[in-house]
Structure 1
């Protein structure tokens, strides 16, 4: 049977691993959010640059 010190170290290691995983996931989500915002900004800029024409097909409808 595990002694108290070994159990404590095992739990501390597990807690550290969970905290690291949570931190990495949070950073990945922040990066994805930043990338999505930049993509929306670029699409809006392209949409503003497009000259209205009767020859265009509205693919968003």
Structure 2
């Protein structure tokens, strides 16, 4: 992912909270902003969307 645009998760905050950064595109990459040098995990965008939807109480995203 040579041209990633990273942004912090809306659930991350500056006062000791989890610091997760995300880069979205055809694949979604996720990394710990405090340990960027350890790399990232990446997922197909559709799989990431299903994961987020399930966290919000759904089973699969609406078609």
TM-score class normalised by the smaller sequence: under 0.3
More strand by percentage:
2
- Report the TM-score when normalising by structure 2: 0.23
Greater relative contact order (CA < 8 Å, ≥ 6 in sequence): 2
Higher-Rg structure is 1
Which structure has more helix as a fraction of its residues? Answer: 1
